[in-house]
């Protein structure tokens, strides 16, 4: 398994889906999944998807700048993915820097998000 390929595919899928229709991210989370969004912790599919779908903007585009991946455990059942990039929100001309870390857990032939930590990076 090439974790960089998995991380790249996941990252592209996640942000393309987020930018098009955030509600479609539901299958990526489980009831024990956790999201910390700007310091606010949430657990479970419904609270996570509710948070993501109720963010106060209409349009968003993620532009990934860096993506790093590491195995999350010696058995190869998980991957840690660290992403940095810029958000283009609504019609704002000034991109907002962000960082996001995912802990992916193998689930058969695919992965789900166990941990998700998101922060805007203010200068």
DSSP at 39: T
Query: How far is residue 119's CA from residue 59's CA, in Å, rounded to a whole number?
Result: 18
Number of domains in the chain: 1
Q: What is the mean pLDDT of the chain?
A: 95
User: How does residue 28 score in pLDDT terms, banded at 50, 70 and 90?
Assistant: very high
Q: Walk across the sheet containing 96-107 and list its strands.
A: 40-43, 29-37, 110-120, 96-107, 78-89, 60-71
Query: How far is residue 29's CA from residue 49's CA, in Å, rounded to a whole number?
Result: 9
Q: Residue 113 is part of which domain span?
A: 3-120
What value, to the nearest 5°, has the Cα angle with vertex 116 and ends 112 and 118? 150
pTM of the predicted model as reported, rounded to 2 decimal places: 0.94
What is the average per-residue pLDDT within 39-60? 95
Asked whether residue 109 carries a pLDDT value surpassing 80, the answer given is yes
Asked whether residue 115 carries a pLDDT value surpassing 80, the answer given is yes
Query: How far is residue 16's CA from residue 45's CA, in Å, rounded to a whole number?
Result: 19
Whichever domain contains 41, its CATH number is: 3.10.450.50
What is the average per-residue pLDDT within 23-34? 97
Asked whether residue 123 carries a pLDDT value surpassing 70, the answer given is no
Task: Note the pLDDT of residue 51.
Answer: 97
Query: How far is residue 83's CA from residue 64's CA, in Å, rounded to a whole number?
Result: 7
pLDDT tens per residue across span 78-107: 999 999 999 999 988 899 999 999 999 999
């Amino acid at each position: 398994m090439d974790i960089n390929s998995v991380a790249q595919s996941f990252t592209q899928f996640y942000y393309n889906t987020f930018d098009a229709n955030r509600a479609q991210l539901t299958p990526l989370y489980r009831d024990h999944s956790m999201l910390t969004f700007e310091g606010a912790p949430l657990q479970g599919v419904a609270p996570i998807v509710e948070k993501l779908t109720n963010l106060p903007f209409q349009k968003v585009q993620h532009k990934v700048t860096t993506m790093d991946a590491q195995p999350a455990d010696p058995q190869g059942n998980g991957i840690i993915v660290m992403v940095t990039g810029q958000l283009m929100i609504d019609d704002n001309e000034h991109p907002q820097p962000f960082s996001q870390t995912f802990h992916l857990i193998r689930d058969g032939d695919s992965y789900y998000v166990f941990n998700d930590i998101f922060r805007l990076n203010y200068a």
